[in-house]
A and B are shown apart, each in its own frame.
Chain A
């Protein structure tokens, strides 16, 4: 317990105490705290254990760069694992628990890994665990790996998605972003500012918070939207910016209806990236000990949160930031034992201030190690003289320089250049529609922001306004990079979250994993949830040193979205449960339910599967419904059948081009069955086409393929034949279709009252007129094998038609027929269902529709492919009937057809199978090699270990002459 709350100061609200829990212990913080600042204020040093070695880890940073330790926040279904405490705003009742510890944070069994660490270098698992097999070891390794635990219950909270279209999106509300926003605020372009923190300002919190507050107010008055608590996670192609807004802190209980997070997809004509700098740590022995923190993070805890992370400090630095940190510590009443500066003595205002405060400064010195048991208790310093000194301290602030946050710029395709003076990668090449603005000091950042804003304004032919700039501290003296302060020790960490050490980097170099991507993958550096924000550059520098190259020669890895981890829930937003794939409802859904229909989903449609009567078993219902159609009349709802109207002088030409059959010769008022192909000559869909007028056709694709066919027609008309005068309009949902089918269908239709010439309406024809007083199209086509009349009326008239049919139907003992019965009826007749009885290799000839192809005069999609040897060879799988030898076994759909001796290879498979009530025996169809030539041949149906003797039979088992269709 070393950290404490300073008696005064900070930008927290001390009048609002908040109680929270960490690792089972009740603690208190204040409104405005983060979990990290509150933990430090409560004296917590060890916050978690590391991934591999289970070493103690504490708070290191004060924002997204914090790579110290991860926690789970919240409980049960509201828990969020793997959070950085510095990014979690404190709230009343927050519950946080450490991750990857057992049985407890203090007594973690796997801390033993530290003692066998020499056996666990980078890639150790590649070199062993192969005998007898990896499976023997995998379980233990898996249990040891992983950070937090997935929530135990489904997430009760809501997520939302929003789109925003603006002229300029500014990422980052620090000095650069705010200056740019102010400069553009009244220029007439629309601006949105995005910042991950609860309050805008960034590093201004340390230098001029009042200016940041005033800037926010000005922007708000000017109508500039500022999205706070919002992380820009990805900059995608064409300037699409992905942002997640935290509407509530993680783990918090939300009142009903509140949104936890919102996904923003922002289309900005210009993106102005001003995300600031990330401070780099230093690599030395035991640099991961709790108490070692980034220098500016220490300043933030002092200034923003009024928290002293420790009492007595040593500062290790390569630039002026360490000196500023020392002065701030002293001003807060804390002790600074020494500033250890890697540079030869420099003069600068920051150094002068530290000197004036009487802080001892060791120039050209390095901090080489920390000492201590549960946290920092001392530091070892290599002095310029060559001697070594050990200093007692409880905190170590480190500063290794700055890296610009280039992630979004790099995602957008920007290339980085090495800035030797600053020892950092900086944006170099211009990226279309992207501006970057960053600076090494507040003053430079503001200037860069103003300049970027001016470039943006120019693009819109506007001008910016002058901005009164915040107080800017004087510029720093140059830094002197130091990539590794001490060499040999095993515990000099480069990537804290992945437990990668300087030795691991050198081992990768020694084994020739020298490409930066190999380095990353071999050592796992930069692959933990902090994504290497602080570790990437030190790792590159160590690799450069180990391979005698410069850092830019080693290169950088590709930055990939997201910049910060984002919850899966917000990415799915409303696409959950029923809304993931909304189902389609029939206009008559309520009426079907009123008749006791069992609704099931077919494609996306909820349709009546069966209409069981009380006490009826499923099989009994099927038999009753099927026989009702064969012997009387039934009605079924065929509304989902696709309906595309084609009009225009070139409609017939287009239909000829998409069909195997010739449809242009179809007389008005007639209907023709046709098959459509893909470019590879396989069946895309089948259906019927009706001609309503000389230039007016109605195409009926199967319900499953209706939208695919409509899209194909659109593509042909828009891309391939834009000059053709044809309009294709999908009207599937505009019409309700009720099909009367059975020997009494005609009588019932007559009884409904119609002006149609029913007696002269042959099979495969269509007529337009009135039925039961409603405007209707009646098509005489059949999917059951019985005479059938499809009555189509506008969807809004569906109920009227329905009631009329039932009023007239009673005397005919009309019965409602579910789709399951229709499927049996069509199977008895040998009618195929596309996608069930065909597959992506089926050609028209395989279905018995190959006849007219050679004679067809015009070209059509797939024709070329049908002429290839494979499509013309004999022995292809053809659609035929199959009957069980025993006459009673229903053949299993999905079973394969084997030659009579029952050995592989497969000769095909059963595609549809059922018990036929009409024939009182099983019927099945399937695709069987050379099936039509092998009519009557014996075969075996293989399903798992079962073998069922069967025979190849005719496709059509009921009324093969088709007398009932024409009767």
Chain B
């Protein structure tokens, strides 16, 4: 790696010599005229795609095109939760693959992603919640995912700061292997590792169109920095997917919404698990820096704007205080929104598109961050082999015409 290998010893050595030896984590090269693979979207999924293309498939000439700065979309705007507590076997396989990667990626990428497997607890507030929770808990176990059922006493002893008043806690499903990871580090870790394989990361490069050959195959990407030829093109642009599809001339069953997130001021350790309450729709964790990171439901109307609004803010904060009334005097530090690509079965779209030469990775909706290693791995497989990976087969675009949806919200009663 151009930046050299990271280690405690190197940190010590550099510390004694003024940190002058650290090289760039990734280069900022000029675009070449042609690449074997061009990936549009420099978020976690796009960068991971480039990394796996290079590492797993040996593809050498790869570019990642990013309109702004890498990780500036949902990769840098999410609530950093990683988990695989999914209902359907297809989803469980996909998300647990991602979680298993996360478990060892810090060492693989030689970049500390601060993967903190502090557990994720989904609460049950009513007898009906308990039955649905048991249904999910059993599904997870049968899918080979770690799951524990915690009764109310156990939950209150593990999370003593929980003091609900309106919605009692009757139990909950805990996935101990779930947790949080530092979102920016995931982006930077993949970027640095991809760069070390020679991937060109082209920030400030906006796609304005695609050029197709006589057979209708997309062969080049038009950008604000000129035309870039491509042997294959991968799209990993989340909330902008429908806009890129428009440019390429196909449609996607995707609607973009704003999803808001919030952080408090940094506090001393207060909460050691990730908590999700279906009754209020609020979920919360505490970052290593001490900020409470929390969120809730989507905004009600479709939008490409990455802005928050007060009604959701009020609703989500009210939900947080229902769980933790002692936080009423703690203060909100920031509010922001990502633009998420929602599909009506809340599952991703992975695979070829109606335009030959273009493959896509989108539709993660509110849950893309946790899937970054899987999304990258599977799009890389598609781009390198021209075939979907077996794990990606159920998630193809054709499921919207066959009707074979993979609707997590449907069975678990919880949106992603």
B143: Cβ under 8 A from any A Cβ: yes
Q: B403 contacts A569, CB within 8 Å? A: no
The digit string for A138-182, where 1 denotes a CB below 8 A from any CB of B, is 100111011111111111010100000000000000000000000
Residue from B23, B135, B203 with most neighbouring chain A CB atoms (10 Å)? B135
Provide the B163-191 mask, 1 if CB < 8 A to any CB of A, else 0. 10111000000000000001011001100
Q: Which 10 A-B pairs have the closest CB atoms?
A: A840-B410, A894-B134, A146-B290, A868-B403, A569-B328, A870-B403, A512-B24, A155-B328, A565-B331, A515-B69
The docked-state distance in angstroms from the alpha carbon of A871 to that of B161 is: 46
Task: Give 14 A-B pairs besides A576-B165, A839-B413 with Cβ atoms closer than 8 angstroms.
Answer: A80-B331, A82-B331, A100-B268, A121-B15, A125-B114, A127-B112, A134-B113, A134-B115, A150-B161, A151-B330, A155-B325, A234-B310, A236-B310, A575-B315
User: In the docked arrangement, what's the CA distance between A209 and B317, Å?
Assistant: 40
* A560 at interface by CB-CB < 8 Å: yes
CA distance A118 to B10 in the complex (A): 12
Q: Is the CB of A510 within 8 A of B107?
A: no
Q: Evaluate contact between B402 and A577: CB separation under 8 angstroms.
A: no
Q: How far is the CA of A869 from the CA of B328 in the complex (A)?
A: 52
Q: List 9 A-B contacts (CB under 8 A).
A: A143-B268, A150-B161, A265-B310, A503-B19, A521-B76, A577-B166, A578-B166, A909-B139, A944-B141
| A119-B12 contact in complex given A148-B267, A151-B330, A868-B402, C-beta closer than 8 Å | yes
Which B positions have Cβ atoms within 8 angstroms of A?
3, 6-8, 10-12, 15-16, 18-20, 22-28, 68-72, 76, 89, 106-107, 110-117, 126, 128, 130-135, 137-139, 141-144, 149, 161, 163, 165-167, 182, 184-185, 188-189, 203, 264-270, 279-280, 288-290, 305, 307-310, 313-315, 317-322, 325-336, 344-345, 399, 401-405, 407, 409-411, 413
Q: Are B16 and A571 neighbours in the complex by a CB distance under 8 Å?
A: no
Inter-chain contact B314/A571, CB cutoff 8 Å = yes
A134/B106 in contact, CB under 8 A: yes
Bound-state Cα–Cα, A567 to B265, Å: 10
Report chain B residues within 8 Å CB of A911.
131
Q: B-facing mask of A849-878, CB < 8 A → 1, else 0?
A: 000000000000000010011110000000
Contacts of B401 on A, CB cut-off 8 Å? 868
Q: Which residues 231-251 in A have Cβ within 8 Å of B in the complex?
A: 234, 236-237, 240, 242, 250
The docked-state distance in angstroms from the alpha carbon of A134 to that of B165 is 36
Residues in chain A near residue B20, CB distance under 8 A: 510
Question: How far apart sit A91 and B327, CA to CA, in the bound complex (Å)?
Answer: 23
* CA A802 to CA B137, docked complex, whole Å: 44
Q: How far is the CA of A839 from the CA of B334 in the complex (A)?
A: 37
What residues on A are CB-neighbors of B6 within 8 Å? 126-128
Q: Does A375 contact B (CB under 8 A)?
A: no
Residues of B within 8 Å of A898, CB to CB, are 142
B310 touches A240 (CB 8 A): yes
The answer to whether B403 and A865 have CB atoms under 8 Å apart is yes
Q: A142 CA to B134 CA in the complex, in Å?
A: 33
Cβ distance B93 to chain A, nearest Cβ, rounded Å: 11
B268-A576 in contact (CB<8A):
no
Cβ contacts under 8 Å, A869 to chain B: 402-404
A561 sits at the interface (CB 8 A): yes
Are B402 and A870 within 8 A (Cβ)? Answer: yes
Query: Which A residues from 575 to 597 make CB contacts under 8 A with B?
Result: 575-578, 580-581
If A82-B265, A148-B268, A236-B310 touch, does A572 touch B328 (CB 8 Å cutoff)? yes
Give the shortest distance, in Å, between B205 (CB) and chain A (any CB): 13
A residues 484-521 touching B (CB-CB < 8 Å): 503, 507, 510-515, 517-518, 521
Q: Which residue of A lies closest to B411 (CB)?
A: A839
A565 touches B107 (CB 8 A): no
Chain B residues with CB under 8 Å of A460's CB are none
Q: What separation, in Å, do the CA atoms of A521 and B289 have in the docked complex?
A: 13
The residue that B143 contacts in the complex, of A150, A511, A571, A904, with Cβ under 8 A, is A904
Chain B residues with Cβ below 8 Å from A944 are 137-138, 141, 149
Q: Tell whether, in the assembled complex, residue B309 and residue A237 are in contact, meaning their CB atoms are under 8 Å apart.
A: yes
Chain B residues whose CB sits within 8 angstroms of the CB of A566 once the complex forms: 331-332
By a CB distance below 8 angstroms, the chain A residues around B267 are 81-82, 146-150
In chain A, positions 799-823 with a C-beta closer than 8 Å to chain B are: none
B171 to A: closest C-beta gap in Å:
11
The contact of A510 among B22, B135, B188, B321, by CB within 8 Å, is B22
Expressed in whole angstroms, the minimum distance between the Cβ of A910 and any Cβ of chain B is: 8
**A124 at the B interface (CB under 8 A):** yes
B-contact 0/1 string along A412-443, CB 8 Å cutoff: 00000000000000000000000000000000
Given contacts A568-B327, A840-B411, contact A138 B288 (CB under 8 A): yes
Whether the Cβ atoms of B106 and A130 lie closer than 8 Å is: yes
With A150-B326, A517-B72 known to touch, is A565 a contact of B407 (CB < 8 Å)? Answer: no
Decide: B322 and A576 in contact? CB cutoff 8 A. yes
A906 touches which one: B137, B142, B265, B321 (CB < 8 A)? B142
Residue A228, interface by CB 8 Å: no
Partner of A142, one of B138, B188, B288, B319: B288
Give a binary string over A522-537; 1 marks a CB under 8 Å from any B CB, 0 the rest.
Answer: 1010001101000000
Cβ B326 vs Cβ A234 within 8 A: no
Question: CB-CB < 8 A to B161: which residues of A?
Answer: 150
Q: With contacts A125-B112, A127-B112, A896-B139 known, is A511 near B405, CB below 8 A?
A: no
Contacting A840 at CB < 8 Å: which of B22, B113, B138, B407? B407
Is residue A762 within 8 Å, beta carbon to beta carbon, of the partner chain?
Answer: no
**Best-surrounded residue of B138, B264, B307, B407 (most CB of chain A within 10 A):** B138
A528 to chain B, nearest CB (A): 8
CA distance A238 to B107 in the complex (A): 48
Beyond A150-B330, A680-B344, whether A905 also contacts B142 by CB under 8 A is yes
**A567–B328 CB distance below 8 A:** yes
- Identity of the chain B residue whose Cβ is nearest the Cβ of A515 in the assembled complex: B69
Whether A568 contacts B321 in the complex (CB less than 8 A), given A78-B329, A894-B137, comes out as yes
Q: Is A445 an interface residue (CB 8 A)?
A: no
Residues A81 and B330 in contact in the complex (CB < 8 Å), given A571-B314, A841-B405: yes
Measured between beta carbons, the chain B residues less than 8 angstroms from A571 are 313-314, 317-318, 332
Interchain CB contact (< 8 A) of B318 among A503, A580, A839 = A580
Closest to A74 in B: B329
The contact of A507 among B10, B22, B134, B305, by CB within 8 Å, is B22
Least CB distance from B51 to A in Å reads: 16
Verify A152–B326 contact, CB threshold 8 A.
yes
Chain B residues whose C-beta falls within 8 Å of the C-beta of A242 in the assembled complex: 310
CA distance A507 to B22 in the complex (A): 8
The distance from the CB of B293 to the nearest CB of chain A, in whole angstroms, is: 13
**B residues near A562, Cβ cutoff 8 Å:** 332-335
Task: Give the shortest distance, in Å, between A245 (CB) and chain B (any CB).
Answer: 15
Is the Cβ of A151 less than 8 Å from the Cβ of B326? yes
- Report Cα–Cα, A234/B337, bound state, in Å: 14
User: Shortest Cβ distance from A731 into chain B, in angstroms?
Assistant: 26
The interface centre, meaning the residue of B18, B24, B329 with most chain A CB atoms within 10 A of its CB, is B329
Asked if B318 and A572 make an inter-chain contact with CB atoms under 8 angstroms apart, the answer reads yes
Beta-carbon contact of A131 and B107 below 8 Å: yes
Q: Which residues of A contact B138 (CB under 8 A)?
A: 894-896, 906, 909, 942-944
Instruction: State how many angstroms separate the Cβ of B109 from the closest Cβ of chain A.
Output: 9
Flag if A531 contacts B69 (CB, 8 Å). no
Q: How far is the CB of B239 from chain A (nearest CB, A)?
A: 16
> In the docked arrangement, what's the CA distance between A312 and B144, Å?
71
Chain A residues within an 8 Å CB radius of B107: 130-131
Q: Does A887 contact B (CB under 8 A)?
A: no
**Do A138 and B112 form a contact, CB below 8 Å, given A143-B268, A840-B411?**
no
Q: Inside 8 A of B71's CB, which chain A residues have their CB?
A: 518, 521
Q: How does the 8 Å CB contact mask read for A70-102 relative to B, with 1 for contact and 0 for none? A: 000010011111100000000000000000100
A895, B268: Cα distance in complex, Å: 40
Chain A nearest Cβ from B272, distance in angstroms: 9
Q: Is A580 touching B280 in the complex (CB atoms < 8 A)?
A: yes
Which residues of B lie under 8 Å from residue A517 when comparing CB positions? 68-69, 72, 76
User: What separation, in Å, do the CA atoms of A250 and B317 have in the docked complex?
Assistant: 20
Tell me how far the C-beta of A648 lies from the nearest C-beta in chain B, rounded to whole angstroms. 29
